[in-house]
Amino acid sequence: MELVSLERIREARELLEGITRVTPMEHARDLRRLHGGPVYLKCENLQRTGSFKIRGAYTRIHGLSEEERARGVVAASAGNHAQGVALASSLLGTKATVFMPLRAPLPKLAATRGYGADVHLHGAVLEETLAEAISFGDRTGAVFIHPFDHPDIIAGQGTVGLEILDQVPGARTVLVAAGGGGLVGGVASAVKAVKPDVRIVGVQAEEAAAFPPSLAAGAPVRLRQLSTMADGIAVGEPGPVSYAHVSSLVDDIVTVSEESLSRAVLLCLERRKLVVEPAGAAAVAALLQHPGAFEPPVVAILSGGNVDPVLLVQIVQHGMTAAGRYLKLHLRVPDRPGSLVAVLSCVSELGANVLDVEHSRISGSLGEVDVSLALETRGPEHCEDVVAALEHAGYTVV
């Protein structure tokens, strides 16, 4: 299969001038110590529609004939591709119909409709949504816009790679979130054509990683089950076009845990003041989970920032737990006036923040009560200090 050329990506870049943003590159000084050199974040979460997807969608739809555009386009997506197709269609004067899963995040649903698309909810999982979108295209003549498996899509996403070369010309490693492979395939096509020695690494969630078994088998392999908070990269099977690019050009695929994903979202929010969805933070998760594994200067692409605020709260809590900044304790204290106040005073003196207290007299021992504390701490060492101090004060930590 012929791969997307550098010339084709440069043509896409010219096409997208004035349509997409040249997104900023942030120097992540707090990640430098993990990898012994500079680390940069390519902020595609600040792109129009909140992700890189507008690049490929606009390139693909622009390439349609007048007759095809007149028939309209159809897409299936959990959110980011939907928004990219909706905006691109609006800019190009084409009707867009988008199918989204029944439980698609409400902000992504509202944004897609806000860009002018006709949205239908269908299917419990994306594969069912995808099948319905293709069926709609067959019935109506609307052109199906694949989320990742088309040369025009890959060429559009490859423009991110050209910007990286301009912004960090000395980059040695580029980390890219990988779902279906459109972004990592496009970035690899651009970067490798100019600087073949730059290492391109795709990042997938451990429980939704289709590329490792596919690369081992020498052909796309479908996963039986996907389970990750990173819905934007939860793709069960690469397409033949994206697989060809990844297998030929990408140097490595690494996987990251759910804990690393949530810690990465929290780090971007706290330290960089950037709202990033779990899929968008996958490259940062790789930096946290695999310290010292990537030659600097490293560029990590923040591929999207469209996250439901309710989910964001849960992710932040999950991230704080993974980072050892939450501590839940069960104590047995004497059943006499002032005991609970004494425990809370001890915790306060240690600098831990009390989030929740449960006090129960249903205890295994007479003269004692059970106290459960949920605490916010400064990290794992602080947790150990709190436990040791409470035990030293004579309390039984269960």
User: Catalytic: which of 189, 214, 260, 303?
Assistant: 303
Using DSSP bridges, classify how beta strands 173-177 and 199-205 pair: parallel, antiparallel or unpaired. parallel
* Paired residues of 330 in beta bridges: 372
- What does the alpha-carbon distance between residue 236 and residue 31 come to, in Å, rounded to a whole number? 31
Pick the closest to residue 211 from 181, 232, 182, 190 (CA basis). Answer: 181
d(CA 231, CA 104): 10
Sign of the CA dihedral running 164, 45, 227, 57: negative
Cα 298 from Cα 359, distance rounded (Å): 50
91 burial type by CB count under 10 A (0-12 exposed, 13-18 middle, 19+ buried): middle
* 186: enclosing H helix or E strand: helix 182-194
**Neighbour tally for 348: CB within 10 Å:** 11
379 near 323, Cβ under 8 Å?
A: yes
Gap between the Cα atoms of 312 and 29, Å rounded: 24
Catalytic option among 53, 214, 242, 262: 53
How are beta strands 39-43 and 25-27 bridged, if at all? Answer: antiparallel
CA nearest 191: which of 17, 42, 45? Answer: 42
Assigned token pair, 108? 């992504």
53 given a catalytic annotation:
yes
Provide the H-helix boundaries in 115-175. 126-140, 151-167
Q: Which residues are catalytic?
A: 53, 303
